[in-house]
Amino acid sequence: MPTDSLGSDKVREALRAAHLYYMQDLTMEAIAAELHTSRSSVSRLLGFARETGLVEIQVKSPADRVSSVQDRIRERFSVTAHVVPVPDNTAEVDRLERVAMSAARILGPFFDSNMTMGIAWGSTLSAVSRHLQEKVTHNSQIVQLNGASNARTTGIGYASEIMSRFGVAFGAYVQQFPVPAFFDDPHTKQVLWRERSIRRVLEIQKHMDVALFGLGSAYADVPSHVYVGGYLDDADFEQLTKSEVVGDVATVFYRADGSSEDIPMNARSTGPSLELLRKVSRRVCVVSGRSKLPALRGALAAGVMTDLIIDETTAVALLRE
């Protein structure tokens, strides 16, 4: 039976229940509490969703608020939005986990055999990596986009754990990038970038099919790892403030208008330039929480993403401003 011939209220409730059950792994008890209904009602909604074709392999959203928000984001920013329903009063850590869980499932169809995916380490991608579902691929590889060491730690354990989870999930070869997140001297970077071992990784990055990243922000409620992990000192923060930085992608900083030129820290960063990133055919950004809005607006202005996976509250707030 076509969904448009059914009661719109029931369709919306069935869609939300299906998304919570199939994409976020919530129990029926938890869904019942969130929808303020009974467990048996949730069961009937899920059955209704399956019987009417709302649920096949993926959750479909032809007539709910999430679908409307996704359409408006596409029209306004020219990106494909994947909006994750999360209640407004959800704690930010839990919000991130739910967005990360959905992102892990959404990501599956984007990556296949004979493809290369670039990964930017960080708090968001660490959360995504914990929820990945296995998908067998062949002749595929995962490449680290930016170095992870700093003056306090090699960063190898943190970054390699994230990379390894992606490699295991997709049966892909993992190419790590054993350089600092930031060089002390930009001239050192220029010299090292001429080394064959480093150039090999840089060449792999140039031929990515998919780039996956979160957005770093000094103002995020869930702290971005680059800002709290010992990568930046007081002088660096002062310089970022002077440069009017609002966020970063793979430790490459940008302003509210999306520009990244003449930001001194970028000359020392080991992440790919935004220009290089824009050449990747599919660029997937995962964002959670309204505190990331300034960073998100700047990234949208920079044109660094083709796909945006975002929680509903933040998506609605983005459209209001």
pLDDT tens track, the chain, 321 positions: 444 444 678 888 989 999 998 888 899 899 999 999 998 899 889 888 877 767 764 555 544 667 889 999 999 999 999 999 999 899 999 999 999 999 999 999 999 999 999 999 989 999 999 999 889 899 999 999 998 876 566 556 678 899 999 999 999 999 999 899 999 999 999 999 999 999 999 999 999 999 999 999 988 888 788 888 788 889 999 999 999 999 999 999 999 999 999 999 999 999 999 999 999 999 999 999 999 999 999 999 999 999 999 999 999 999 997
Tell me which H or E stretch contains 129.
helix 123-129
Tokens of 185: 């001297």
- 148: helix, coil or strand? coil
- 284: helix, coil or strand? strand
Pairing of strands 245-249, 252-255: antiparallel
pLDDT at 262: 93
pLDDT at 154: 54
Q: Are 293 and 66 in contact (CB under 8 A)?
A: no
| Residue 230, burial from CB neighbour count under 10 angstroms (0-12, 13-18, 19+) | middle
Q: How many whole angstroms separate alpha carbon 154 and alpha carbon 148?
A: 7
pLDDT at 153: 62
Amino acid identity for residue 106 in this structure: I
Short-list 50, 79, 83, CA closest to 67? 83
Tell me the DSSP string of 31-73: HHHHHTS-HHHHHHHHHHHHHTTSBSSSB--SSSHHHHHHHHH
- 83: helix, coil or strand? strand
Pairing of strands 80-84, 245-249: unpaired
Radius of gyration over every alpha carbon of the chain, rounded to an integer in angstroms: 20
Pairing of strands 173-175, 252-255: unpaired
pLDDT at 5: 44
Q: How many whole angstroms separate alpha carbon 129 and alpha carbon 111?
A: 14
